[in-house]
Chains A and B, each alone.
Chain A
Amino acid sequence: MARTFALTILIFWLGAVLLARLLDIHGNAIDLQHILASPSLRYWFGSDDLGRDILARVLRGAEISIMVAIVVTIINMLIGVTIGLLAGFFGGKLDRLLMQITDVFLAFPGILLAIAFAAVLGPGMLNLVFALCLTGWVSYARLTRGQTLSLRNRQHVQAAESLGATPYRLMSRHILPLLTSLLMVEATYSLASIMIAEASLSFLGLGIQAPNASWGAMLRDGVRYMLVAPHYVLIVGLSLMSLILAINLGGDYLRDKLDVRTA
């Protein structure tokens, strides 16, 4: 049941975003005659403080949010998995050094470091991605290292090693393939958490800049006009939560399906 639900929501969002793309709906058209209008036939989700169509902007925001989440997840995974593999495979001084570095990053609570990086780098999409990458690789590194440490001593790895396989081959052909399902589950969950992080940064004015739509910035405006137009913040928030919920349910499904034990 949960699976169908998650799938329906995901397909709905992807379809709607794609449709908005095809119809070239960008939601930047300003209509000062109809500012903060309630949902109506003309504006299904109402309009914002500049009379822009909230539905169109939610769809554009979804597109940007999904894109950022995917790009950041891929980069984080590449960096984190590489570091984790190296640390777990070679061990010793390299491992100690790399883990010391990840410990420092983990000493910053939650999203604080991303906020700090985004703040000094300045606003903008590229800096946003950069800030989220600087902090997001750590969990992959820890995860991969732990798994590599135990896989390193498996018989098939030792056998390949004694046959003369290079460290690169051992890591890429004999260890990494065993990590794929675990990493896929982790990546799915991290899509959701990166979308939340991106929205948090945009909420603080650090992320995507106007006139580009972003859910975080829309929520901030929604809070500002909450007293006169509560539909604004409610609609954007519900959109965000439905997508996050669907992604997390998808993660649960993958986890059960691939039989991955997560901590």
Chain B
Amino acid sequence: MHLFKRLFSVIPVVFGVLLLTFLLIHLVPGDPVEVMLGESASTSDSETLREELGLNQPLVVQFGHYLNKLAHGDLGQSIHTKTPITELIKARYPATVQLAVVALCLGVLIGVPMGIYAALHAGHWQDFVITLISVRLSAMPAFWLGPLLMLLFAVWLGWLPVSGMDHHASIILPALTLGFGLSAILTRMTRTSLLEVLNDDYIRTARAKGLSERTVILRHALRAALLPIITIVGLQMGSLLAGTVITETIFSWDGIGRLLVESIEKRDYPVTQACVLIVALSYVLINLVTDIVYQVADPRMRHA
């Protein structure tokens, strides 16, 4: 029942997202056509574009057309290259997903073990150092962490490519930049959840059964920490997706974030609009999936 409710709750949000992205182009000060084409554009060009974007019609009609086109998988076309935007997105989206997934994996692979390590050394200096790093440095924005990693690993040490996508290893630095914040949050989360359960009776029982410490931690204690981790990962996907805009720009990673920035620079607003829409819808979808996974992972939540 809750599942259906959750599914339906997405509808007004998606509608709102569509409305807001549709209205974006109308926020352009003055005449959007003139802004996009430049003042030197001929009247016939302007008129064609105006016609194409349907800017002559009443707002409600425009929105109707916008929804109708979207429903047919048509995102319009780029003003400058006339390429259908769906093609641009199709070409760029996989790179962003790839980057986000690798960032996510790095975040989990770094964050969770660090959290376990900190919890097992609670009160010792190792815990202190890890906590300090994860609390204080989690706010490092991509435009600062990215150049720092680039300087260290690409320029000074020369271990990894500076930017671009030519090499398999090219993904490491942007993914680290993107996944860093997540790993810091996961470290704290894992540490707290583990510390909470380590003194529980069932852990004592597991130890008393003579299970190895490894099994106790990984199979028994960590299980309880799984739910907060799923939640955090789901919640953090948003900042991860938004972070791709700057990270991709820094590392010349040809994903949708960079497409967005390029379209802004060229004032190709239909492309900007489409990128924003796609990222926002991805985020809504991820949140939905997180909620569902959450319920599947924890039977207690199904009746909540």
Contact = CB atoms under 8 A, between A and B. Distances in A.
A263 B279 CA distance: 26
B33 interface: no
Interface in A200-239: 200, 203-206, 216, 219-220, 222-223, 226-227, 230, 233-234, 237
A34 to B, nearest CB: 22
B241 to A, nearest CB: 5
Contacts of A192: 139
B253 interface: no
B242 A119 contact: no
A248 interface: yes
B239 A109 contact: yes
Contacts of B147: 219, 222-223, 226, 233, 237
Contact of B151 (A115, A121, A199, A226): A226
Chain B interface mostly: helix
Contacts, number: 131
A116 B283 contact: no
Contacts of A86: none
Interface residues of B, number: 50
B276 A204 contact: no
B16 A204 contact: no
Interface string A162-199: 00000000000000000000000000000010001001
Contacts of B284: 107
Contacts of B21: 116
A207 to B, nearest CB: 12
Nearest to B261: A204
Nearest to A131: B27
Contacts of B28: 120-122
Chain A interface mostly: helix
B12 interface: yes
A108 B17 contact: yes
Contacts of A104: 12-13, 16-17, 19-20
Nearest to A227: B155
B144 A240 contact: yes
Contacts of A119: 264, 269, 272
B141 A223 contact: no
12 contacts: A100-B13, A100-B16, A107-B17, A107-B283, A109-B241, A110-B241, A116-B272, A203-B143, A204-B245, A223-B146, A226-B150, A234-B148
Given A109-B238, A120-B25, A237-B147, 15 more contacts: A100-B12, A100-B13, A104-B19, A109-B237, A109-B283, A110-B242, A113-B20, A120-B269, A120-B272, A122-B29, A200-B143, A204-B261, A226-B147, A227-B155, A233-B151
Interface of B: 12-14, 16-17, 19-21, 24-25, 27-29, 35, 136, 139-144, 146-148, 150-151, 155, 237-243, 245-246, 249-250, 260-261, 264-265, 269, 272-273, 276, 279-280, 283-284
